[in-house]
Amino acid sequence: MLNMASYKATTSALFVFRKPVNELRKNLGLPLIHRGKHVIFPPECAAYPVLHAISPALMRRPSDWVPQAEMTGFWYMPKTKTPLSQELETFIAAGDKPVFIGFGSMVSSSPQTLVQIITDALDQTGLRAVVAKGWAGLDLEGNGQIMCIDSVPYDALFPRMAAVVHHGGIGTTATGLRAGVPSIIVPFFGDQPFWGWHVAAAGVGPDSIPRSRLTSSRLASALRRATTDPLMQNAARDMGVSLESEQGVENAINSLSRLIRTNCAEAAINS
């Protein structure tokens, strides 16, 4: 019941996009829509194809999905050619592999508390860390063991880390998994707990730690396991190899091409 309710809530929220969609539909000579769910499921398309940019290596295709729902694999941008800064390269090379900690666009009502939790966890583990300041403003004092950074290409940084700690947004999750290192998910809201559960279930990271329950001891425990458990490290490495060979963007393009060819053929027959 809760699952069905979540679908209703999501499609109702799409009502805010009705105006721009109707402007496009008007230009295409299509009738206007009046319900939120028709934003992505127009009434004239009962069997509308849906491409899910999710890897079956992380999540098995649900058995109750409709046939037109496809899992293409993750969609990755071409790997960045921008090198890491010399300062960051020097820090990474100065000792054991560091861990990454950052929460992207997530904000915190108490950034200093979050900074203290991270600092204490690193003190407890003795690990080196690259900390992304992000929207939460994680500005830790550098002590030779910690380096704070602003924006950096994750696909260039993550493979150089011993483990990655982040909020569990699907984009960051996919990039972390592709890097082949264990992931520690600290979900804030939304779909992030869902991805944290799947990461743990796949054995490529410890159990997620909700932001509301994050403590230095819990973070330290997760960091220790992620950086010392050979089974988890091997599973993460295998996941990375699997995702490297996955062609999510190509699969999506091929699916769209088939749809266009089919529709063009039907239009030619009807004309």
Do residue 126 and residue 185 come from a single domain?
A: yes
- What stretches of the chain adopt beta strand conformation (E)? 50-52, 69-71, 99-101, 129-132, 146-149, 164-166, 183-185
How many angstroms separate the CA atoms of 256 and 221, rounded?
A: 45
pLDDT of residue 271: 66
Q: Is the pLDDT of residue 65 over 70?
A: yes
Do residue 166 and residue 102 come from a single domain?
A: yes
pLDDT of residue 142: 67
Do residue 136 and residue 34 come from a single domain?
A: no
Examine residue 160 and state whether it is found in any structural domain, yes or no. yes
pLDDT of residue 46: 65
Examine residue 25 and state whether it is found in any structural domain, yes or no. yes
Q: Is the pLDDT of residue 68 over 80?
A: yes
Examine residue 261 and state whether it is found in any structural domain, yes or no. no
Examine residue 119 and state whether it is found in any structural domain, yes or no. yes
Please give the tally of structural domains in the chain.
2
Give me the percent of the chain exceeding a pLDDT of 90: 69
Mean pLDDT of the chain: 92
The token pair at 248 is 């999510």
Examine residue 231 and state whether it is found in any structural domain, yes or no. yes
Do residue 38 and residue 119 come from a single domain?
A: no
Q: Is the model more confident about 108 or about 63?
A: 63
CATH code where residue 136 lies = 3.40.50.2000
Examine residue 249 and state whether it is found in any structural domain, yes or no. no
Do residue 39 and residue 134 come from a single domain?
A: no
Examine residue 55 and state whether it is found in any structural domain, yes or no. no
Residue span of the structural domain in which 122 resides: 86-244
Examine residue 252 and state whether it is found in any structural domain, yes or no. no
pTM over 0.75, yes/no: yes
The token pair at 134 is 């992000």
Helix-helix angle 230-244:170-178, to 10 degrees: 100
Q: Is the model more confident about 240 or about 12?
A: 240
Do residue 226 and residue 128 come from a single domain?
A: yes
Q: Is the pLDDT of residue 269 over 70?
A: yes
Do residue 228 and residue 176 come from a single domain?
A: yes
Do residue 94 and residue 181 come from a single domain?
A: yes
Max distance between CA atoms of the chain, in angstroms, equals 73
pLDDT of residue 267: 66
pLDDT of residue 163: 98
Return left, alpha or beta for 126; rule: phi > 0 is left, psi -120 to 50 is alpha, else beta: left
How many angstroms separate the CA atoms of 186 and 43, rounded?
A: 39
Which single residue is written with the structure tokens 């090198």? 83
Give me the percent of the chain exceeding a pLDDT of 70: 98
Q: One-letter amino acid identity for 19?
A: K
Which residues are paired to 148 by β-bridges? 131
